[in-house]
Amino acid sequence: MIDERPLPVTDDPADAPMWEAALRGELVVQACVDCGRLRFPPRPMCPDCQSLDTGWQKLSGRGKLWSYCVAHPPLLPAFEKDAPYNVAVIQLDEAPTLRIFGRVVRGGAASGSGEAREPVDPSLLVIGARLQVVFEKVADDVALPLFLLEDDVA
Ligand SMILES: [Zn+2]
């Protein structure tokens, strides 16, 4: 049984630069040094040219809502207190074939006090809605991507 929110491992060489960027409030994806293909999620080899030479590219963090679901109980205890919450799939502006996951949350003051941001009302989740990434620090080494509706960006 998972009682605490599971957190990602952030010291794996394959994706550590992504987690370091997240702590700085930046969204980065891998960029193949040999052919330039962007890829996400992080992995050691380019699927186009099989190169192991990888760089990282900073993105704007802007995109649009591609899909989503809204989770309701019964859920694992670690997630039940947050319900109902959304899990969204976001298509990134600079790399439309790349989609990342995150929650769409309300804007306003950043959660510097440690309070988690609230999910938006599900009626605001419209496919194609414009979104902007923000990061929520949930542990010393972990900041998770969240998304604000573009109209809600402070
Ligand atoms: Zn490549």
- Examine the domain organization and report whether 67 and 135 are in the same domain: yes
- Examine the domain organization and report whether 128 and 116 are in the same domain: yes
Residues spanned by the domain of 84: 60-154
Answering whether pTM is above 0.85, one says yes
- Examine the domain organization and report whether 107 and 138 are in the same domain: yes
pLDDT per residue as tens digits for the range 46-80: 999 999 999 999 999 999 999 999 999 999 998 89
Does 16 map to a domain? yes
- Examine the domain organization and report whether 89 and 109 are in the same domain: yes
Contact 37, 50 (CB under 8 A): no
Q: Shortest CA distance to 152 belongs to which of 130, 135, 137?
A: 130
Q: How many domains is the chain partitioned into structurally? A: 2
**Angstrom distance (rounded) from CA 106 to CA 122:** 11
pLDDT per residue as tens digits for the range 64-122: 999 999 999 999 998 898 899 999 999 999 999 999 999 999 986 554 555 678 899 99
Q: How much distance in Å is there from the Cα of 98 to the middle of ligand 1? A: 15
Q: Shortest CA distance to 95 belongs to which of 59, 119, 123?
A: 59
Who surrounds ion ligand 1 at CB < 5 A? 32, 34-35, 37, 46, 48-49, 51
- Examine the domain organization and report whether 83 and 151 are in the same domain: yes
Q: How much distance in Å is there from the Cα of 61 to the middle of ligand 1? A: 23
Does 2 map to a domain? no
Bridge-based pairing state of the strands 130-139 and 62-71:
antiparallel
Q: How much distance in Å is there from the Cα of 102 to the middle of ligand 1? A: 27
